[in-house]
Structure 1
Amino acid sequence: MLKLQKVLVREFKLNMTIGDTKDASFIDDWIQLAIKNRIKKLDLCIRKYTLPETIFVAESLTVLKLKGCKWPESPSIDQYPAFAFSRLRELSIVKVSDIDSVIINYLLSCCPLLEEFTLKRCDFHFLSVVHNPKLKKAIIGQVNDIRIEAPALITLYCAGDIVRPGGDLDLNVSSCNNVKELKIGRFELPNKFFEELNSKFPLLETLDTYLSCPDPIEISSHRLKRLDLRYCDEEAPRIFKINCKNLRHFKITCTGHSKLPIPILVNSSSLQEIQHNLHAINHLSEQWFLQFRRYLGMFQQQQVLDLSFSPLFDYVSAEIIEEDIPPISNIKHLHLHLRDSRSQNYTTLIDGLLRSCHPKILSASSAFNRLVMVLYETLMGREEKPKCCSGCNTKCWRHYLKAVKVIYFFDGDKFVRAPQKDALSDLFLTAEGLESIMLKLEW
């Protein structure tokens, strides 16, 4: 029908893997027909397919998204039509083969109206974005050497190689004073990057980055409101200082084996919440819990904890002097996650965590139900008047916990809202495939 009449095609989207040349021929015809009918949005995710040269005459395009396909072998750059992509406002190129930085840089120079640009997994290392005065958002992955001059840029994401993380990032940013959101991952950033943060990005409000420099690091920003930091404990800086008077949300993610997050000094009168994500913990001891309790005591703000433990974490007991124990912290939400059922230390884990902090909400998830069951039995089966700490000046968590309420649990098939207390125990204990639970604790 489209061949017989002229109609306006606003969007053409195709996601498939071609099987033979006949499939490719059909797709070529569909794309050509769409272009003749003044297509506005072209979204192609086609494996084993070479793009047709007709895309270079699609002057009506405002959105072009390409993924998994192959760039046409011809024509050469000097043969591209002068009007190619002149109306384009959004360009996304992901895992496109046979395309290099020369072609990308030329394409960008042909897009004076471009507002959003995405480039990922295209196997080259240099990119220059200097001819796009209207560019507002750029997502760039697996490119180490980046030059950007974009006065309208608001959001910038840069990510290193997934397979070989930790390379150096040469980010040459000029005339980008309007950037408000900056995310950099899988790159090694020197101290100089943080020292120049305020001057290069004076309007920055959100920063998400990876830390790999062992030297002490300080971030100072007048307008920063959200800060997300990620690091591995083997690459962590010795100390971290944050001087951001308008910072409201702070999240730190540590992937390691046994170490706690680095010492952090936060200077912000506006900070509302701190989120700690600790992953792959595999070595616990009385000393670890004591340090964990001391670490949480560094912050007066509302805190959220997300702890992920290795399948076979071990535990080492040690004698702790009562005078060394710091005050306990009240936590908004504590979430526990375990990927395996082989560990034998659930009771010790729960006991140690509740001696380290008092969460208002406690949740747990695991592919196996034993963690959830032990958590339920430990909390619901406690004595109303515990006698476990008689003769000790420092009491355990059982003496401070007043009430426990199950909010919901997930039985592997659906979420189940907690019924009345008299029916809860039977329903919970007879459920199969328990994977998660959420409880409200009153201290």
Structure 2
Amino acid sequence: METPDTFIRSFKLQTHYKFRPNVVQQIDNWVDFVIQSKVKELNLCCEQYRLPHYVLNASSLTLLRLTDLNLEVPSLSTLTSLKVLYLESVKIDDKSFQNLISGCPIIEDLHLDGFTFGDIDLAVSGTLKNLSLRHMNCIDQWLKGVISRLPVLEKLTLYSYRMSNVSIHSNSLKSLFFYLSSRIDVTLRTPNLVCLDFGCYSNSIISIDAPNLVEAGLTLGDVSMKKSEFDGLVRFLSNLNCLKKMKLSVFSEQVLIFPKVVRKRNCPPLSNLKHLVVVIHTELTRKSELLDALLWCAPSVKTPEIISQKKSPNRLRWYVLGHRIGTFVTY
């Protein structure tokens, strides 16, 4: 095939059909054509399609998004212009991944979704500014090692089913989004963090050293609370007392109606908070009790905004596991 004189900015092919060999050849021809046309953005979602090796040596590519593909990288890639890489449910082994990522010297955005590495050392370029790890099994020490080698990392997104400890120490991090499905211990040492959005359960332990953080979004996965558990919730919220603005999402209003005996023996956990939006994912039946409890919890808030968005318990758990239902409110 002759090299075309045309220039293609972006090419996207998305399908979930399994193809016969003759159709696969046609896809190969399309991919070959756009690569020779110096395509800058390539987005392929083809189940079990095997990406041609020459794609990973395309110096014109600035964005590459691969979904549901088979990917083998037997030698070092040379994606010298690539800045954004998405890998979603891609079948790739550790060596191939390392060969791929090591050939991306100026990468700035890396999004990994739906696969598990072994003991791989994620040796990403120090140019990385945005890292997203979704539905991956990783441990705290591995994550700490990765972050420590990213001196200009500004945004981190973490969705995990199994992590029980999260320790994030970064001087460059400005935005952090994490959603974890079980009780966790979280330690944040992020002096330049300005945006935090996270989901967890109220029996988690959180320690935050982020002097520039003024607002956050929090989703609690608890569907109900026993009286004996409210003291723990107070301690949990007290760790967020540095905040001035918060959006708090819960399934049931009951989770936030602190019993009077709990209020008597505890100080208000969010005494510095000035603006509060509370989203309840069931119908409100005890609004006056909820308002009274919120005014105790955050006494500097003149009028908390209460929003009822009815969702099923499974829908809220789905949220906490990493699928956003709403968007964070900026005042």
Bigger Cα Rg = 1
1:96 alignment counterpart: 90
In the alignment of these two chains, the number of paired residues is: 289
1:137-193 Cα offsets, whole Å, 9 max, x none, are: 22233555xxxxxxxxxxxxxxx5xxxxxx655221434333333444432216xx3
Aligned counterpart, 1:31: 31
Q: Compute the displacement of 1:46 (Å).
A: 1.5
Question: Could you tell me how far 1:67 is from its partner in structure 2?
Answer: 0.6
**Do residues 136 (structure 1) and 129 (structure 2) align?**
yes
Name 1:60's counterpart in structure 2: 60
Query: What's 2:5 paired with?
Result: 6
Alignment of 1:362-381 (within 5 A): 362-366=306-310
8 Å contact from structure 2 (residues 247, 277) kept in 1? yes
**Closer, same or farther in 2 for the Cα pair 1:365/1:56, shift >3 Å?**
closer
The residue type equivalent to 1:350 in the other structure is K
Question: What residue in structure 2 maps to residue 272 of structure 1?
Answer: 244
The residue matched to 1:177 in structure 2 has which SS?
coil
TM-score by length of 1: 0.55
> In structure 2, how many angstroms separate the alpha carbons of the residues matched to 1:56 and 1:206?
30
1:245 aligns with 2:211: yes
Quote the Cα distance in structure 2 between the aligned partners of 1:284 and 1:244. 25
What 5-or-longer segments of structure 1 have no aligned partner?
Answer: 145-159, 161-166, 307-334, 340-345, 369-443
Q: 1:189 aligns with which of 162, 165, 177?
A: 165
Separation in structure 2 between the aligned mates of residue 91 and residue 283 of structure 1, nearest angstrom: 40
| Alignment root-mean-square deviation, CA | 3.7
Alpha-carbon offset, residue 68 of structure 1 = 1.3
* Counterpart AA for 1:170: W
- One-letter amino acid matched to 2:65: K
Greater relative contact order, per chain length (Cα 8 Å cut-off, separation 6+)? 2
- In structure 2, stretches of 5+ residues that fail to align are 296-302, 313-331
Report Cα offsets for 1:383-432 as digits up to 9, x if no partner.
xxxxxxxxxxxxxxxxxxxxxxxxxxxxxxxxxxxxxxxxxxxxxxxxxx
SS of 2:60's equivalent?
Answer: coil
1:268-314 alpha-carbon deviations (Å, 9 max, x no partner): 4xx421333333566798x63764797756423224243xxxxxxxx
Q: 1:288 aligns with which of 236, 255, 259?
A: 259
Q: Which residue of 2 aligns with 1:212?
A: 183
Of 155, 178, 190, 2:152 maps to 178
| Secondary structure of the corresponding residue to residue 34 of structure 1 | helix
Mapped partners of 1:266, 1:115: distance in 2: 31
Task: Find the counterpart in structure 2 of residue 371 from structure 1.
Answer: none
More strand, by proportion: 1
Kindly state the Cα deviation for residue 18 of structure 1 after the two structures are TM-superposed. Answer: 3.1
Alignment-derived partner of residue 326 in structure 2: none
Partners of 1:17 and 1:48 within 8 A in 2: no
Q: C-alpha deviations, 1:225-262, integer Å up to 9, x for none? A: 334453223x423xx55454332113433212214424
Counterpart of 1:20 in structure 2 is 19
| Displacement of 1:20 | 3.0
Matched residue SS, 2:309 = strand
Give yes or no for the alignment of 1:225 onto 2:194.
yes
TM (norm. structure 2) is: 0.70
**8 Å Cα contact 2:86-2:112 kept in structure 1:** yes
Residue identity opposite 2:292 in structure 1: R
- Distance in 2 between residues matched to 1:16 and 1:365, nearest whole Å: 34
Identity of aligned residues (%): 20
Aligned mates of 1:219, 1:110 — CA distance in 2: 31
